[in-house]
Amino acid sequence: MGLAWLVHGFLLDRMSREFVETRLKDEVAFLEHQIRDSDGKLDTLQTGDYFQEVFHHAFAIHSPSRTIISPDSWAPVLMSLIESGQDGTHRVQDSGKADTPADILAYRKSFRVGDTPVVVIVSEDLGALKRSQAELHAWTAIVSILLILLLVAVIWFGINLSMRPVVALRATLKRLQDGKVSRIHVEAPEEFRPLVQQLNQLLDSLDQRLERSRDALANLSHSVKTPIAAVRQILEDTSRPLSDELRLEMTARLNDIDKQLEAEMRRSRFAGPQVGKSAYPMKQARDLVWMLGRLYTERSFELSSSLPDDARWPVEEHDLNEIMGNLLDNAGKWSKRCVELSLSQDSGRLNIEVVDDGPGVTDAEIGKLGQRGLRLDEQTPGHGLGLAIVRDIVERYGGNLHFSAATECGLRVMVEIPSPALVTR
């Protein structure tokens, strides 16, 4: 607005001067026409008050026989312009002559009427015009300031109105911090909805982790209580010698405890969906296929996928490694010759498929694979090792784990994980 005000002043001054110059030229042309009509006889011209009333300007007409200047107070300035001999527009400022305006704009033209040279000058006092311009410029500044104040008020009102949901969100976060609410339920602006969703997902994840930790501790306590009691009973019974049979029984109980600890420790390392966490499925799949191929040298592990090498999935790297590793390990144990791993993605879903050519699983056993609550030592022999853990991880990502018979023989395991936005480089 300040720049516009300065430009307005510059343009107003320029336009006013051009307008005054045009008028002065028109009046000089009128006087020239009058002089030519009178054949250069200045005595026959109507001058004096007539010109001042019509044009409101000072003028000078000079010929070898006569010089007419009106008003007389302008004579010093106009005579200097007559004597200068230069036609065109002239601006005289601070002439130093008494009773003379400080700023004068004049137009001078010389011509001949027959053999008589004539000089005509029309001038105007720019002081009054400048005062009018200054008044208009001042009013422009006042209006601009009022517009600025109005604009600031509108912006302030608009910001406060649009930020009301943010204030409500802030209040909800304060209530959440004070423990008055457990989730953020507020109508946030569209730009803040992903933030609110991520915060609620984070709260859900923390609650789930706390619940899983409690369940794991309860399960672990319940599972190891019996073996520990049995071992303690054997050790406290001093009346019986520690025979080989008792030693084997103690070893079995300790193995049970070790398996339970290992299973719960593995479950505690699963991260679940994490913002900003992703994995390269092709790289991890190649590493696992190579490693299991060295572990099960009599089996062939094949990888098929149309994914690019730099494709990323929004799955925590350790979780993806556990899913594919457990499935490949189970398939490798029960396959005869070949294990196939397939990776794909379509319509916002991540697909992992593992097929082996082993003896397969009966229909009754398929329904028991990966059931919750089953321990590693309680799984159905065959395709059961680690599948409960795989199911836990997949369920944390909101996915599905399907078991079915392979086309010829063996077992097909399909993992489907929803992905709202696939991660790209």
Q: What is the mean pLDDT of residues 343-358?
A: 89
Give the pLDDT band of residue 265 (cuts 50, 70, 90). Answer: low
At 134, which helix (H) or strand (E)?
A: helix 126-162
DSSP state of 312: B
| Model confidence at 384: pLDDT above 70 | no
222 pLDDT band, cuts 50/70/90, is low
* Residue appearing with tokens 């390392």: 269
Please tell me which residue, 372 or 324, carries the higher pLDDT value: 324
pLDDT of the residue at 146: 92
Q: pLDDT by residue (tens digit) across 3-39?
A: 888 888 888 888 888 888 888 888 888 888 888 887 7
User: From 2.60.40, 3.10.20, 3.30.450, 1.10.8, which CATH number describes the 2-126 domain?
Assistant: 3.30.450
CATH of region 281-418: 3.30.565.10
Q: What pLDDT score does 367 carry?
A: 73
Q: What is the pLDDT of residue 348?
A: 79
Give mean pLDDT, residues 237-255.
74
Percent of the residues in the chain that have a pLDDT greater than 70, as a whole number: 84
User: Please, which residues have CB within 8 angstroms of residue 320's CB and are 6 or more apart in sequence?
Assistant: 279, 281, 284, 313
Quote the pLDDT of residue 425. 38
Q: What is the pLDDT of residue 302?
A: 92
pLDDT band at 223 (very low <50, low <70, confident <90, very high): low
Whether cis (ω within 30° of 0) applies to the bond prior to 71 is yes
The strands making up 58-62's β-sheet, listed across from edge to edge, are 67-70, 58-62, 116-125, 103-113, 88-93
- The count of C-alpha atoms lying within 13 angstroms of the C-alpha of 74, restricted to the half-sphere facing its C-beta, is 25
Looking at residue 422, what is its pLDDT?
47
Which residue shows structure tokens 């406290």? 236
Sorted by where each begins, the domain ranges of the chain are 2-126, 196-268, 281-418
Does pLDDT of 49 surpass 70?
no
Average pLDDT along the chain: 79
- Decide if 417 contacts 395 (C-beta within 8 A): no
Structural contact between residues 288 and 326, judged by C-beta atoms closer than 8 angstroms: no
What pLDDT score does 380 carry? Answer: 39
* pLDDT for the residue numbered 156: 93
Residue with tokens 């969703």: 197
For the full predicted model, state whether its pTM sits above 0.95. no
Over residues 146-167, the pLDDT tens digits come to: 999 999 999 999 988 888 888 8
Identify the residue whose tokens are 């003379």. Answer: 100
Asked if residues 281 and 310 have their Cβ atoms less than 8 Å apart, the reply is: no
pLDDT of 289 higher than 60: yes
| 360, two tokens | 């397969």
The predicted pLDDT at position 69 comes to: 80
Judged against a pLDDT cut of 70, whether residue 194 lies above it is answered with yes
pLDDT-based confidence at residue 373 (cuts at 50, 70, 90): very low
| Look-up of token digits 């791993």 | 341
Q: How far is CA 2 from CA 6, 131, 134, 323, in A?
A: 6, 21, 16, 66
Per-residue pLDDT averaged across 395-423, rounded? Answer: 81
pLDDT of residue 235: 74
CA dihedral 15, 20, 25, 30 (to 10 degrees): 130
pLDDT above 70 for 366: yes
- pLDDT tens digit string along 87-121? 888 888 776 666 677 778 888 888 888 888 888 88
- pLDDT of amino acid 53: 54
Read off φ and ψ for residue 286, nearest 5 degrees.
-60, -40
Range scoring the smallest mean pLDDT among 150-154, 190-194, 336-340, 349-353? 190-194
What is the pLDDT, as a whole number, of residue 284?
A: 92
